[in-house]
A and B are shown apart, each in its own frame.
Chain A
Amino acid sequence: TQLLEQSPQFLSIQEGENLTVYCNSSSVFSSLQWYRQEPGEGPVLLVTVVTGGEVKKLKRLTFQFGDARKDSSLHITAAQPGDTGLYLCAGDSNSGYALNFGKGTSLLVTP
């Protein structure tokens, strides 16, 4: 099992602030997914990154896959209370195994 370390574990910020969360591994992944999970619900896919160095934007969210495909970051600009949730990264090692999930970053955005 390839470990995915997410940091920080918890983050509490005020509305309008910017933030970056990280997903790191010593293993190479063929692709990496980011999910957001709201309280009482299951995770929902935000984006999949496949190419090393790839950058994808989803409104105020910017996702980057590291050049070596071992790490990824999620940057949120001008955070809003609706961004509150648990952000999970999940890597596909393309070895025939299912996705490996990190433990997540729990984000709280207060008005």
Chain B
Amino acid sequence: DAGVIQSPRHEVTEMGQEVTLRCKPISGHDYLFWYRQTMMRGLELLIYFNNNVPIDDSGMPEDRFSAKMPNASFSTLKIQPSEPRDSAVYFCASSLLQGAGEQFFGPGTRLTVL
């Protein structure tokens, strides 16, 4: 398996623009996680899905953020409108199990909002 795939790897946009990040989890993994990583706040869980259903979105910063998982092999994280404080590295991860199950991370998308 190719592992978790994320696109794009880098995104530079201007404030107010819509940004869409994409993730393909490892085939057969039932759980998908979206994280945001910054120096100040570390790795923060934004939302996670089980069998394509959002389970916990309490980490989503505000209404400008939304995530979808239309099928088992694809998820998106959308920011609309984007703001400079959204600049961070966004990771997608998938796992077979919740909790003690190993999470497999993608390479991340580095987002810069000017």
A→B interface (CB under 8 Å)? 30-31, 33, 40-45, 48, 50, 88, 90, 92, 94, 96-104
- A41 near B108 with CB under 8 A, answer yes
Known: A88-B43, A97-B56, A98-B48. A42 touches B99 (CB 8 A): no
Q: How many residues of B contact A (CB 8 A)?
A: 20
Residues of B58-101 whose CB lies within 8 A of A: 91, 93, 98-100
Query: What's the minimum C-beta distance from A52 to chain B, rounded to whole angstroms?
Result: 15
Q: Is the CB of A45 within 8 A of B42?
A: no
Q: B7-44, CB under 8 A of A: which get 1 and which 0?
A: 00000000000000000000000000101000001110
In the bound complex, residues from chain A placing their C-beta under 8 Å from that of B53 are: none
Is the beta-carbon distance between A42 and B102 smaller than 8 angstroms?
A: no
- Decide yes or no: A45 and B103 within 8 Å by CB, A98-B56, A104-B42 being known contacts: yes
Given contacts A98-B48, A103-B42, A104-B42, A43 and B105 within 8 Å (CB-CB): yes
Whether A48 and B43, one on each chain, are in contact in the complex, defined by CB atoms closer than 8 angstroms, is: no
